[in-house]
Structure formats: structure tokens, C-alpha cells
Amino acid sequence: MALRDRLRDRLGKTAHQPVHSTAARKTPRAVTTGDSFQDLKARIHRKLIERLDPDTLENMDRETLKQQIRPIVETLLTDEGVFLSLDDRERMILEINNETFALGPIEPYMHDPEVADILVNGPDQVFIERFGKLELTPATFKNDAHLMQMIDRIVSNIGRRIDESSPYVDARLPDGSRVNAIIPPLSLDGPMLSIRRFGVNVLGINDLLRIGTLTQEMSEVLKACVKARLSMLISGGTGSGKTTLLNILSAFIPHDERIITIEDSAELQLQQPHCVRLETRPANIEGKGQVTQRDLVRNALRMRPDRIIVGEVRGPEVMDMLQAMNTGHEGSLTTLHSNSTRDALTRLETLMLMAGVNIPASAMREMMSTALDVIVQVARLSDGSRKVVSVSEVVGMESDVISMQEVFAFKKTGIGDRGAVLGEFRATGVRPRFAERLKVAGIDLPAEIFGLSRL
């Protein structure tokens, strides 16, 4: 289907309304209310599609096409006999470009580096997350059909579909942002769209130090653990910064190692030259062709990896991941949804049961205790800030219980006048057992870094 026809389909039957001639020009009138501005934009948009040449739509690059759209829109505004201020005229041209080529009302937030999430709860309610806090925006869609047009634009560009037979979809935008859409009948109040933004700038450990996510001492220990090939699990809730921290810590992996990353939706931005990126694939319309994370982990083991990084373990692939850590792939990293380090171990055990392997609980815990060396717990606090609230070492087994010892912790002490969380990072005064492994790897950290006095 030609691009012009696809645009017409998104606009609906009203796209075929006749274009007013200049002879029918009306006395200029001002546009003041939001509703009339949106109505005018819809009319101009419909007429624009009719005037654009189909070959132009198909063959010209978008930036050049946007430049050609400007004089057409200005002519159509003149034909409408509408007076717009210079600012409103520029806004009209920008929004029509967004409607034609981008994501309509939410497109400006896709270019705001401070926006982490865009959450569309129906056509009249668009939230964004900025600095860990949700805020309602003035952006709205005209109706459910308008929102569905944007959702369809996202999923059709990657060869997927969303309709009553397949009423939800996960997708990825060209910039890497993750998208989830769900529509009726599963969504009772109309189409819903969630976009997890993909940061343009790659953050580093200094950025985390600057915003107070962790301390210099903690960063030195985590950096040493990665370099010394300690296997690490990053645990935390939704939006707590697990993937961001994983991406930052992966930067400390030596550049002469072969890394294989496995993700549901590719987000990691590794800087090493020898990195193989793998991404899962959902089933097609016939329910065939699905490739799961477990399939990819198993395949990765045949690709001669030095380290395997799984963006997030959430199913039976955890069994293969732990086996890989236990069989020559030390230094691998992954993340997990969990509220505490102890809960993380419980959740790992639950996920292992999903693999359908009939082994005793004690054997599963033994596997976890030998595979994992460090668990890092991250959290998003009530003021929106993100902190590394705990760094714990997995020591081993005591009877049937996995033994851990906390090396660093964030202790909350209260709430400030403006809602800021008060607290401090503390070294627990415990010298971890992995300090000897660090020393063997040529990394000798001073005792003071763990809160100990030098003897």
C-alpha cells in the first residue's frame, strides 16, 4: 500500500473530503480555543494529504519533505481565511509534521532528555516521568481513533499488528525506546500506550556519583568486582535504574573479552568492540517462530562467550544463566525484579522451578550460592531519586540457607522539608571474602574503603 493510502487510512473517511478552493475564501478569523485549533489542524492535515504527490511521498526523504510541507500548509491556512499568530503558525506546522511522520501530540516528549517514561492513559490523559516523578501533561489526542492511529504507526513500522485478535504488543522504536500498547477488550478505558525512553547520552559512573546514587567507595568496589570477574545480580523494582546500572558497570569489562548480551528489548549500550547483541522474538500471527531468552542463553553458550549479560531474568532462562556462571563464564551480569537482596534469592528459586527441573530446593540454593558473588540492590525512593541501597556478598550455604553479608548500605534517616529523602551511605565494616579474589586479580583495595582501620 502506498504511503499516501496508508495516511488516508489513518485519517479515516474524512480524508476524502473535497479541498476548498481559494474562491471560497472566508473573512480572516482568529483561532483562540484549544478545540478550534485542533479542529483546524485536522482539516489542514486532511487537505495536505490530498495535495501531496504520491511519488513524492514514497521517494523523498522526510527532512526534505518536511521543508516542502511548510509552504503547502501556509497556503491552506490562507485558503481557510484563518488568522494565526507567528507562534501558532509555527506550532501548526510542527504538529502537522508530527501527525504525518511521528507520534503526534507526544512527539515533543520523545525529544526531551529529561523524560524517562511517556504513559498515555487514553486520549485525554498523558503522563510523563521526569526525575522519578510522574506529572500530567497538557498533551491530548483527539479521540480513541487518533490514539489508535499512533499505536498502529508504531507497530506497523516493525511488521507487527494490534487488533482484537492480538490486543497487546511490545515493540521497540528506532531510537531503542521500549513500547507497550494494549487496547480493548483487554483495556477497559480505551487504548493505552507506555513508552520507556531510551537515553541518547550514555551515562557513566561519574554521573551516578554526581546525582548521589552511590559513593566513590562503592563505585570503586563495584568496578573492581567487574574487572575481577565476579558474577553479579542487580536487583530492584520497576524504574529503579537496574538497566542503567548494568550498562554502566558493563563499561568496566576489559575490551579484549567477548561479550554476548541477551535482552527482551535491546536497551544496553555497551562500548566494547567485541560485543554480540541478541534479542528475543515473539511468535508470529500463527503462533509460531517464538525465540525466548532461554533459547538465546543456550545458543550463546555455543558462541564462545567470555561473559554473558542478560538484560533481565524473568523465567526459566535463569537455570541456564546460573549454570553458565558455574561452568566457566564468571563475571556475567544480569538484573531481576525484587524488593530486597533476600527477596531476590527467593525469586530466583521460584524462577528456577519454572524451568521444570525436578531437583531439591537445597540443590537449587547450592547452585545459586556458588554461581553468584555479589547482589546489588537499587531502589527508587519517594522523592524520585534512585539509590544503590545495598551491596551484599553471597558467602555460601549454612544448612539449607544461603548466607550473605552486607558490605555497603544506604540508611534512610527521614524526610526533608521539600520531600527529599534524607539518609547516608555506610560501609558496614565487613571485609568481604571476595577481597582476596580482587587481590589475586591485581586489585588491592585499602581497608578503609570497607570502613575498616588499616592495621
pLDDT tens across the length of the chain (455 residues): 444 454 445 444 333 333 343 434 444 455 544 457 777 877 877 777 677 665 555 556 667 777 777 888 888 877 777 777 888 888 888 877 777 777 888 888 888 888 989 999 999 999 999 888 899 998 888 889 889 988 988 887 777 788 888 898 888 787 778 899 999 999 988 999 999 887 666 789 999 999 999 999 999 999 999 999 999 999 999 889 999 999 999 999 999 999 999 988 778 888 888 999 998 888 777 778 889 999 999 999 999 999 999 989 988 999 989 988 988 889 999 999 999 999 999 999 999 988 887 888 899 999 999 999 999 999 999 888 999 999 999 999 998 899 999 999 999 999 988 889 999 999 999 999 999 999 999 999 998 999 876 54
* Within a domain: 455: no
- The 8 Å CB, 24+ separation contacts for 170-178 are 170/264, 170/265, 170/282, 172/265, 172/266, 173/198, 175/110, 175/200, 176/266, 176/267, 177/110, 178/265, 178/267
Identify whether 116 is part of a domain: yes
pLDDT of residue 21: 39
- 190 & 242 share domain: no
d(CA 350, CA 414): 34
Give me the pLDDT at residue 15, please.
37
114 phi and psi, to 5 degrees?
-85, -10
Residues 20 and 127 in one domain: no
Tell me, yes or no, whether 162 lies in a domain. Answer: yes
Q: Are residues 92 and 113 in the same domain?
A: no
Whether the CB-CB separation of 50 and 5 falls below 8 Å is answered with no
pLDDT of residue 36: 75
Which of 83, 101, 119 delimits the end of a domain? 101
**Could you tell me the CATH number of the domain that includes residue 145?**
3.30.450.90
Find the largest Cα–Cα distance for the chain.
94
- Which of 79, 101, 123 marks a domain boundary? 101
- Whether residue 156 is found in the same domain as residue 216: no
Residue after which a domain boundary falls, among 196, 225, 248: 196
Q: Is 227 exposed, middle or buried (0-12, 13-18, 19+ CB in 10 A)?
A: middle
User: How many domains, the chain?
Assistant: 3
Cα four-point dihedral sign 124, 129, 134, 138: negative
- Burial class, 378, CB count within 10 angstroms (exposed 0-12 / middle 13-18 / buried 19+): buried
Judge if 184 and 221 occupy the same domain: no
Same domain for 31 and 89, yes or no, is: yes
Query: What is residue 239's predicted lDDT score, i.e. its pLDDT?
Result: 86
Distance from C-alpha of 398 to C-alpha of 402, rounded to nearest angstrom = 6
Domain residue limits at 397: 205-450
Question: What nine digits make up the cell of 363?
Answer: 540443590
Residue 57 lies in a domain: yes
Least Cα distance to 79 among 53, 52, 51, 44 occurs for 44
Statement to judge: residues 393 and 262 lie in one domain: yes
Whether residues 242 and 390 fall in one domain: yes
Sheet holding 386-398, edge to edge: 275-279, 259-263, 307-310, 333-337, 232-236, 374-380, 386-398, 401-415, 421-427
Claim to verify: residue 217 and residue 303 sit in the same structural domain: yes
- Is 84 a domain residue? yes
Within a domain: residue 222? yes
| Alpha carbon distance 308, 325 (integer Å) | 9
Helix (H) / strand (E) element for 341: namely helix 341-353
Same domain, 35 and 152: no
Residues 59 and 118 in one domain: no
Pair (215, 175) in one structural domain: no
Asked if residue 316 belongs to a domain, the reply is yes
Q: Looking at residue 404, which CATH number applies to its domain?
A: 3.40.50.300
Please tell me the distance from the alpha carbon of residue 130 to that of residue 63, in angstroms, as a whole number.
29
